[in-house]
Amino acid sequence: MSNDPTKTAVPAQTFASFDGQAIVWREVGEGRPVVLLHGLFSDAVTNWIRFGTAATIAAAGFRVIMPDFRGHGLSAKPHDAAAYPVDVLSRDVEALVAHLGLTDFDLGGYSLGSRTAVRLMVRGMRPRRVVLAGMGLAGLIESNRRTGWFLNVIAEPDSFARGTPGWLAVQFMKTNKIDGEAVSHLLRAQAETSIDAIRALATPALVVCGAADQDNGSAPDLAAALPNAHYNEIPGTHMSSVTMPNLGAAIAAFVAQESPA
């Protein structure tokens, strides 16, 4: 049987998060851990495994750890608003890191995953390196605008003309069988991050974004605001760049760099 995770199932594992909710994660590869966080309406398989990103990073000598966010994939999807306190996704990732005993690791995210990676660092997590993909500065400091837009997508899925960004988001949501009530609670649990907090994040960072992706504002502006970041432009839009080999290659090259002495 092929060991290529794009062609074979990557086993799902489950643990109880900080509040007892079941959170699923998957792993490929061996070596320094790299924790990757997927985007909204997605999951670990769709974001990282299906198009070969995880395989590329694993082939470079890394253990790639990919949770399904609460409300997504195979993880719990409670409908009780109390199950979604502020920064709930960060708290789930903190619980996973503790569960796996990770102390020296890299962290990366795509879109909502990038926003969560930033929140994790604001809350005190210190990965060796961080990758922020599909994210711009406005998507962090004005994230409530994006949250409101997605809440409308969930509430009014039939209100968008074919081919518009809203229509495309609805199709992606339907394809991945998203539980709208659970994800609405999750979206309301998102916290904005101040520009001062972003400017204080000294972790070496890669900001990588599709050339035609402005969904979360300017990625170059985000790289400029971070004190120790560089920007890598790859082909594609917000929806298409995640499917291209450039993303995995950029992440693998960045996490393979040695830390300064």
The domain of 139 spans: 13-255
3-state DSSP of the chain: CCCCCCCCCCCCEEEECCCCCEEEEEEECCCEEEEEECCCCCCHHHHHHCCCHHHHHHHCCEEEEEECCCCCCCCCCCCCHHHCCCCHHHHHHHHHHHHHCCCCCEEEEECHHHHHHHHHHHCCCCCCCEEEECCCCHHHHCHHHHHHHHHHHHHCCCCCCCCCHHHHHHHHHHHCCCCHHHHHHHHHCCCCCCHHHHHCCCCCEEEEEECCCCCCCCHHHHHHHCCCEEEEEECCCCCCHHHCHHHHHHHHHHHCCCCCC
Whether 89 maps to a domain, the answer reads yes
CATH of the domain at 51: 3.40.50.1820
State the pLDDT at residue 25: 98
- For tokens 């670990």, the residue is 44
Q: What is the mean pLDDT of residues 187-215?
A: 96
Distance in angstroms (rounded) separating the CA atoms of residues 16 and 24: 9
Say yes or no to pLDDT of 259 above 70.
no
Residue 133 has pLDDT above 60, yes or no: yes
Q: What is the total count of domains within the chain?
A: 1
pTM strictly above 0.85:
yes
Average pLDDT over residues 52-80: 97
In a domain, 2, yes or no: no
pLDDT exceeds cutoff 60 at 224: yes
What's the rounded Cα separation, in Å, for the pair 158 and 204? Answer: 42
Confidence class for position 3, pLDDT limits 50, 70, 90:
very low
> Which pLDDT value is given to residue 9?
79
Q: Which whole number is the average pLDDT over 180-202?
A: 96
Does 84 fall in a domain?
yes
